[in-house]
Structure 1
Amino acid sequence: MNEYLLSPQAIVMVQGSSKGAQRKYYEDGYWYKVNNAGYEGLAEYLVSRVLECSNIKDFVRYEQCNVNGRAGCRSESFLGTGEAFLSFQRLYELYTGENLQERIRLISDVSGRIRFVVDFVIDHTGLDCTEYLSQILTLDMLVLNTDRHFHNLGIVVNSITGEYKAAPVFDNGNSLLSDWEMFSEETIEENIEHVYGQPFSASLEIQAYEAGIGLKLDYNRLDELLSHEPESRGMAVLRYQLERYRKMISIA
């Protein structure tokens, strides 16, 4: 496992996560995150291995590593020249001055909440994010991501061309029951009972179903990749979830 030594000047304060402060660094085009509550770095790495074997082509690849002597992960910036990430929350704030999460709570049904966000993005950017949401919410269901919110869902804006595109899939560290304190029960089944989703529903299954099951997997290739990974709780959870949803998530 690689060890990266970074200076205090590389620390970046990143706002918006509902899971609290996590030490993050940025240096020479790479982001570094230190584990905060468990094995987030391992979860990021394993989820990116899943994505390698999926129909999702635009995603961030994570390397599990040590950062200044602490476990974490490393990823390359997904922004090119002239590009900036604009979260759905920031986009909504720019046009309305309001909080998007609070706004969709006024909509009673999950499908209506999803449609509201899709329509808002189309109206203000011309970009249809229907497929983007269907893929990412299905992934969140599979890997038990409890920290998907409107700060890590969004678009990439090119200031040179004026074009918009869906952001790659990133920020999956709160997956696979990685938070030891939150998921401290003995069995995977017991821990799953304490999983609550975001941002459209507390049920990861309901929001994935309402968005449409958009993820597909090459199970043979994924099984081969995972066969080389050491045993861990994260691996055990991933295997459990792959078996649980094998009939729902089709073959790529």
Structure 2
Amino acid sequence: MERVYIPQDAKSIISTSSKGDQSKWLVGDKWIKENTRGYENMAEYVASIILKSSTLPKTAYISYTPCLIEKYDGIVKEGCYSLDFRGSLQEVTLERLFESNFETTDDILNNTRYSTADKFNAILEKIHLFTGLDVSYEIAQMLAFDAFILNEDRHTNNILFLYNPRTAVWQLAPIFDHGLSLLSDIGDYPLDKPISILKRKLKAKPFNSSFTKQLSLYKGEPFIHQHLLLKQLDESPYNLGRAKDVILSQLKDSRLQQLIIH
């Protein structure tokens, strides 16, 4: 596994997830993230494998590479890295987008009178109003992918937009941050418990706690090539552990067949 060195003067950035904080660093053009709850690095890597085995263009997602993180004090931890995709563009999370327009996503997402589709449509209408973007298909596809990898961390700060201040043009950022997927949190999902049992505990975000109901928002064509995915899993140079077992289980799930190209 590749070893990445964190110099003493590297700025540590605390990334907040729905389960707590995670240390990460920007060193050169690499974002480096440390495992804190289990095998987040392998979850990120396997998610990358799935996306590489899909019909999505390479510009639509971020790839992650597992690594050993060597800190300046000699401590070595497992983690992963990805390339910085922002360039000169400003990043604006979905939550921040609403706040900058003096609104909040809570007014929509916590409205008990709204169905899952109502919440989705209301949020996407606001996105269009604020940015001019129609990204309903892309975000529905991202939620379908989340259902496939059991991503429990797609909160409103994990949907990102990029803004070009020179041209005043918005774009949806590539799909990123899948560390809390594939049952990677071994505290909440112990390694000695059956995958089928653990999957029942999972809760989705942000439009519904049910992955199945969020999956129903996607009306597009299948986009995951099963043959390519199995080939990449088998040829991986890393020990994928339970992350691979979860994917094999997901490929057999009848509710997910609409996503799979056989």
In the alignment, structure 1 residue 110 sits paired with structure 2 residue 88:
no
In the alignment, structure 1 residue 234 sits paired with structure 2 residue 252:
no
User: Is the deviation greater in 83-92 or in 214-223?
Assistant: 214-223
Shift of 1:22: 0.5
The 1:235–1:137 alpha-carbon spacing in structure 2 relative to 1, beyond 3 Å, is: same
Shift of 1:215: 5.5
Corresponding residue number in structure 2 for 1:28: 28
CA contact (8 A) 1:43 1:173 kept: yes
The 1:19–1:212 alpha-carbon spacing in structure 2 relative to 1, beyond 3 Å, is: farther
In structure 2, give the amino acid aligned to 1:104.
Answer: L
CA contact (8 A) 1:23 1:34 kept: yes
In structure 2, give the amino acid aligned to 1:36.
Answer: T
Corresponding residue number in structure 1 for 2:61: 59
Shift of 1:175: 0.6
Corresponding residue number in structure 2 for 1:208: 215
Distance 1:193 1:147 in 2: 16
In the alignment, structure 1 residue 244 sits paired with structure 2 residue 246:
no
Shift of 1:243: 2.1
The 1:2–1:102 alpha-carbon spacing in structure 2 relative to 1, beyond 3 Å, is: farther
Shift of 1:244: 1.4
Give the structure with the larger strand fraction: 2
Distance 2:11 2:145 in 1: 29
Q: Which portions of structure 1, spanning 4 or more consecutive aligned residues, are displaced by more than 3 angstroms? A: 211-215
Corresponding residue number in structure 2 for 1:194: 201
Shift of 1:126: 0.6
Instruction: Name the SS for the 1:66 alignment partner.
Output: strand
Candidates 155, 158, 173, aligned match of 1:167: 173
Corresponding residue number in structure 2 for 1:224: 231
Instruction: Name the SS for the 1:5 alignment partner.
Output: strand
Distance 2:222 2:109 in 1: 24
Candidates 147, 153, 176, aligned match of 1:147: 153
The 1:213–1:11 alpha-carbon spacing in structure 2 relative to 1, beyond 3 Å, is: farther
Distance 1:8 1:112 in 2: 49
CA contact (8 A) 1:143 1:238 kept: yes
CA contact (8 A) 1:44 1:171 kept: yes
Shift of 1:133: 1.0
Deviation readout 1:46-82 (Å, 9 max, x if unpaired): 00010001122210010001112101000001112x3
1:89-100 equivalent positions in 2, closer than 5 A = 89-96=95-102, 98-100=103-105
Deviation readout 1:209-247 (Å, 9 max, x if unpaired): 124356511221111111123351111011111221552
Q: Please report the TM-score for the alignment, with normalisation by the length of structure 1.
A: 0.93
Instruction: Name the SS for the 2:33 alignment partner.
Output: strand
The 1:175–1:121 alpha-carbon spacing in structure 2 relative to 1, beyond 3 Å, is: same
**Runs of 5+ unmatched residues, structure 2:** 71-75
Shift of 1:13: 2.5
CA contact (8 A) 2:42 2:240 kept: no
Candidates 74, 78, 93, aligned match of 2:85: 78
Instruction: Name the SS for the 1:114 alignment partner.
Output: helix
**Runs of 5+ unmatched residues, structure 1:** none
* Aligned residues between the structures: 250
